[in-house]
């Protein structure tokens, strides 16, 4: 029995070690996107299923209507219902096949194909939306982690200063007590900011967990660096928009409206039907056969076909205007993000090249001046807090930069 248990325990330990390794492994934004894409989000899958359904419908729409079969008795005398007394009494078998107007079948099948392409474009747009939302959630969570580390480090520093003031209280008296209160106040404010950051982090993790699961969202996050690619001009943006899935979906709606206009034109053509009948008579009487071609004549078009065609043309014009509006909106949004990215890059460069260096130098000078008794304790605390605030602002700038880049990529794709 023990020999059987030992391998099982060994396997469980391997599984536990593997799970622990995966939990400790840092989660990159690229991995988070991959997990979300492999999770088969229901919103994306629903659109893909609709596309497959329209493809099946296109096959059915291109087929002829089912033939109609008729079976019955004709010319039966109603006084005695005899089937043999009258020479014209017969058992009839008929078959009728209808042929829709003009190119109705081909155009209807084409409309189903266009709708399928539209749903596929919507599915791709939804997938891109998922990638954008996962990226933004990851960047928010990453900022929250960085901010939490900075605030905890500041809290540790203030705690050390607080302990120092407590030790100086016996010798300095009321002056040390004032500094002690000042440190405790700043420490309380930092703890409140820390609680706010943790709340934001939990929210970002929950948003991320919606796409990749709680286990993956709870993993520590890897570092991220922007690719710092060249910014796009307006002509480059307009060229990149040709592959935007949302815009492709609107293009398919234009095709569908044009297809509707072509279908409306088919109403001016007649619909044909072919019918064959065979009449079986009793005794030695000859059987009857007949063949007919039927069609309708669309003569009164002013009240039916003409308004339908005009309506179809209006829908096509409306779809084109929607496309032009979307192009303008997407171009404007992309230019806004390009301007934001440029400004954020400049601010980060200035922060890292000048502002943070000066803040670090100010902290060093304040510590030396406080040790020499040239500045008061409040000035030292303000300088230390200012340095941490600047680091938090830099982290926030990086977060805003990454989010703006993700938003721009959502609009123009890989061209960003």
Quick count: other Cβ atoms within 10 Å of Cβ 178? 15
- 204 Cβ partners below 8 Å, 6+ apart? 137, 140, 141, 144
pTM of the model: 0.79
More confident residue, 398 or 83: 398
Confidence of residue 173 (pLDDT cuts 50, 70, 90): low
- CA distances to 33, 202, 211 from 131, rounded to whole Å, are 6, 20, 9
Angle made by CA atoms 254, 258, 259, in degrees to the nearest 5: 115
Max mean pLDDT among 71-75, 87-91, 283-287, 335-339 falls in 335-339
Q: Which residue's entry shows tokens 């286990």? A: 215
Longest dimension (CA), the chain: 139
First to last CA, the chain: 63
Confidence of residue 229 (pLDDT cuts 50, 70, 90): confident
> b/e map of 309-320 (b: 16 or more CB within 10 Å)?
beebeebbeebb
Q: Are 298 and 305 in contact (CB under 8 A)?
A: yes
Give me the phi and psi of 280, to 5 degrees please. -100, 125
> Could you tell me the residue ranges of all domains in the chain?
26-64+104-267+306-415, 66-99+269-303
Distance CA 54, CA 84 (A): 54
Mean pLDDT of 147-152: 88
Beta-bridge partners for 95: 69, 276
Q: Are 330 and 241 in contact (CB under 8 A)?
A: yes
Distance CA 41, CA 52 (A): 17
Q: Is the pLDDT of residue 251 over 80?
A: yes
Q: Which residue's entry shows tokens 């605390």? A: 381
Q: Which of 404, 126, 231 is nearest to 240 (CA)?
A: 231
* Domain 26-64+104-267+306-415: CATH class, spelled out: mainly alpha
- 38 Cβ partners below 8 Å, 6+ apart? none
Q: Is the pLDDT of residue 83 over 80?
A: no
Element (H, E) at 90: strand 90-99
Q: Is the pLDDT of residue 66 over 70?
A: yes
* List of E strands, 156-305: 272-280, 288-295
Is the torsion defined by CA of 180, 181, 184, 190 positive or negative? negative
Q: Is the pLDDT of residue 182 over 80?
A: no
Q: For residue range 306-364, what is the model confidence (pLDDT) as tens digits?
A: 999 999 999 999 999 999 999 999 999 999 999 999 999 999 999 888 888 888 888 88
Q: Is the pLDDT of residue 13 over 50?
A: no
DSSP 354: I
DSSP 221: B
Beta-bridge partners for 68: 96
Q: Which of 254, 154, 255, 136 is nearest to 204 (CA)?
A: 136
Q: Is the pLDDT of residue 387 over 80?
A: yes
Quick count: other Cβ atoms within 10 Å of Cβ 372? 8
CATH of 66-99+269-303, one of 2.20.200, 2.60.40, 3.30.310, 1.10.3470: 2.20.200
Distance CA 286, CA 305 (A): 46
Element (H, E) at 94: strand 90-99
Max mean pLDDT among 133-142, 292-301, 358-367 falls in 133-142
Q: Which of 328, 135, 334 is nearest to 231 (CA)?
A: 334
């Amino acid at each position: 029995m023990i020999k059987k248990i030992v391998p099982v325990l060994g396997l469980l330990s391997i599984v536990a070690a593997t799970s622990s390794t995966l939990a400790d492994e840092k989660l990159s934004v690229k991995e988070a996107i991959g997990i979300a894409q492999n999770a088969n989000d229901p919103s994306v899958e629903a659109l893909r299923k609709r596309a497959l359904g329209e493809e099946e419908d296109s096959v059915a729409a291109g087929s002829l209507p089912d033939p109609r079969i008729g079976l019955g008795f004709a010319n039966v005398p109603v006084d005695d219902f005899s089937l043999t007394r009258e020479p014209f009494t017969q058992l009839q078998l008929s078959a009728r096949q209808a042929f829709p107007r003009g190119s109705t079948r081909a155009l209807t099948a084409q409309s189903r194909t266009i709708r399928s392409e539209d749903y596929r474009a919507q599915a791709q747009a939804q997938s891109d939306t998922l990638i954008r939302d996962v990226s933004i959630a990851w960047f928010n969570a990453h900022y929250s982690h960085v901010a939490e580390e900075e605030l905890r480090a500041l809290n540790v520093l203030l705690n050390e200063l607080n302990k120092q003031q407590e030790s100086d209280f016996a010798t300095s008296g009321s002056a040390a007590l004032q500094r002690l209160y000042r440190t405790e106040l700043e420490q309380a404010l930092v703890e409140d900011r820390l609680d706010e950051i943790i709340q934001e982090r939990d929210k970002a993790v929950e948003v991320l967990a919606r796409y990749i699961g709680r286990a993956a969202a709870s993993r520590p996050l890897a570092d991220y660096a922007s690719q710092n690619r060249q910014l796009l001009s307006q002509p480059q943006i307009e060229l990149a928009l040709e592959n935007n899935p949302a815009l492709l979906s609107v293009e398919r709606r234009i095709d569908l409206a044009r297809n509707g206009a072509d279908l409306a034109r088919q109403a001016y053509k007649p619909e044909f039907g072919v019918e064959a009948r065979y009449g079986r008579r009793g005794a030695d009487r000859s059987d009857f056969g007949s063949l007919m071609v039927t069609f309708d004549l669309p003569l009164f078009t002013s009240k039916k076909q003409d308004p339908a065609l005009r309506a179809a043309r209006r829908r096509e014009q409306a779809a084109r205007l929607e496309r032009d509006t979307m192009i303008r909106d997407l171009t404007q949004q992309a230019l806004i993000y390009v301007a934001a990215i440029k400004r954020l890059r400049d601010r980060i460069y200035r922060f890292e090249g000048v502002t943070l260096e000066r803040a670090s130098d100010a902290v060093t000078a304040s510590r030396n001046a406080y040790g020499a008794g040239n500045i008061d304790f409040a000035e030292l605390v303000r300088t230390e807090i200012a340095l941490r605030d600047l680091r938090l602002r830099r982290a926030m700038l990086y977060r805003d930069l990454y989010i703006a880049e993700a938003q721009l990529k959502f609009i123009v794709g890989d061209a960003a």
